[in-house]
Structure 1
Amino acid sequence: MYNRAMLIYNGKAGQQDWAGLLGSVSAILAPAVRELLLYQTLKPGDGEQVCKERGEEFDLVFIMGGDGTVHECINGLARLQAPPLIGILPAGTCNDFARSLNLPPDPLLAAQQLLQGRRRYVDLGVAGDRVFTNFYGIGLITEASDNISSGLKGALGKISYFISTLQTVRSAEPFRYRLEWEGGTLEDEAVMIYVSNGRFLGTQPLPFPNNALEDGKLDVMVIREAGLPLLKELLSRKNQEEWRPGDESISYFQATRVALSTAKPMKADMDGEKYLDTPAKLQVSSQALQFLTG
C-alpha cells in the first residue's frame, strides 16, 4: 500500500475519453493507494513544475500521457534530492519509453502491471541541464517529426511517423558534424545522429542490448545516407547483445559522454520535443530514477 500518490495526466495526449479513462485507471489504482491526487496539465511546463515543486510529497508519481508528457515530468523529478518512485501510464501515440520499460501500450493494462510492484533503476540521458528518457537526435529524425501534421498524427497514430519518414528520407540533406567521446573522434557528413537511452523508436524495437536502460551507456548511431535500405537495416534488426550494422552508411558505438558539434546550429529533438540546438554535450546519468515496470 502506498500512502500518497499523484497522477499527472495530459488531457490532450491521444486519448479521446479522458473522463472514462481516468475513472477506470483510478479504480485500478485505488486499492493500492491510500490517497491519490489527480493533476491535469493545462499548458507546456505544467508537468515539470508540479513535479519539481511537489514531487517529494509523494511516495509514487504516475505519469499518464505520451513521450512528451513523460519527458516534461521527468525533467522535474530528476532535479529532486529525494525523487519518488515513478509509474508510466502510456496514453500517447508511440509511448516508446513505456515500451522500453516492458509496459503494454494500453494504460489500463499498464496500471495493472505497475501494481505488481516490479521496480527498476533506470539511466537518463543528459543534454546540458536537461534530461531525456528515450533519445536525443538531429537531422533526419527532427525533419521527420516536423513533417507530421497534427491531423495526420491524430488520424493515423504511429503510422504517421513512418509515412513522414518515408517522405523525408528521399530529400534528406547531409550536414557536417564532429563527435568526440571516450573511444575516439568522428568528423564527416551525416543525415542523422541518434543518441539513445531507450530501445524503441516510433514503436519499433531498435537493435540495442536488452539492458540499454540500465547499462550506464548511450547508444550512438551516425547515419550518413538516407533511403529505404537504411529503414530496412534499422527496422528488420531485433535487439541483440552486440549489434554490428550491416549497412556501411551506419556507424554505431556506445559512450558515457559525447560532445557533438555541427557546422551551423541545428535543431535537436529530445523524446519528440524540440527546443535545444547544437552544439551539445551529452552524457549518461546512471540509474538515476526508480520506475515501476511491466
Structure 2
Amino acid sequence: MTAFARHEMVLDSGVLSWEIRSVNHRYLELSLRMDESFRPLEIAVRKVMSAEISRGKVEAILRFQPAHQGEQALEIDEKLASAVVNASRQLAAMTAASTPIDPLKLLQWPGILKQPDVDMAILHEQALQCLKQTLTDFIDTRRREGASLAVLLQQRCQDIGNIARDVRQLLPEILTRHHEKLLQRLQDLQVELDSERLAQEVALLAQKSDVAEELDRLESHISEVQNILSRQGPVGRRLDFLMQELNREANTLGSKSIDTATTRYAVDLKVLIEQMREQIQNIE
C-alpha cells in the first residue's frame, strides 16, 4: 500500500531521522539505506519492520546529523584521506584524466571527516526507538488509506450482489422467451415435433443455461469478502484468492449464457472483479 512517514529525534549528540515509504507489491520487499556506522542495526531493523508490515515494496532511510561542537576544529582522518587521494591519482593515470581533486568533495567521502566521540550503543538504541515511532505513524497512514479502500470494495460487492440478483430474476423470462422462439422456428419450418420431444429440448436448454450454482457461489464469495474486510490484520492475500474464485464464476456465467442480457451481466461482473483485484493489490 502506498504510504509515507517521517519522524525526527533531537538528541544531545545530533538529530536522528527515519523516513519510510512504500508502494504496492505482492510480497514484502524491504530496502534499507543507512550510514555504515549503523549497519550493525540492520538485522534488528528488519525484524522490527517485518513484525509490523507484511506486504509492499518498502524503503526505509536512516539519517544522522551530528551536533555542531561550537568552534571546535574539524578533525580529518588523514590516513583514509591519503588512501582516497592515492586511489584517485591511480585512476587518473589509468584514464589519462587531469582533473584536480576537489578537497570539498573529498570531505564528503564517508569517514574522512571524523565525528565527535558518540556512544554508538546508546545511539543505536535511540535509532530503534525512532524507527518504532516512525512505524506507528506509517501504519496509521496505511490504516486510513485501507479504510477508504474498504468502502470502495464494499460498494463493488453490493454491485456484484445486485447483478447476481438480477440474473436470478431474469432467467425464467429468458427460458420462456427461448421456448417461444423455438416454437416459432418450428412453425416457420413447418416441422411437427411431439410434445414430449419438445419438453426434452426445453429441459435440455434449461439444464445447459442453469447458473444457479454459480450464482450461489458468487454470493457466497462476496459475503466472505465483506466478512474479511471487517477483520483486523493483514487480509490482502485472502482477498487475492477470492478474486480468483469470483472471476471463475463470472467466466462460467458467461460461457453458459444464452441471451445477450446475461452475457452483458457477465462482462459487467468481470469489470467489477478486475477493479476490485487492482485495489486489493494496495491492501496488506
Structure 1 length-normalised TM = 0.20
Q: Which has the larger radius of gyration?
A: 2
Question: Comparing both structures, which one devotes a greater share of its residues to strand?
Answer: 1
Structure 2 length-normalised TM = 0.20
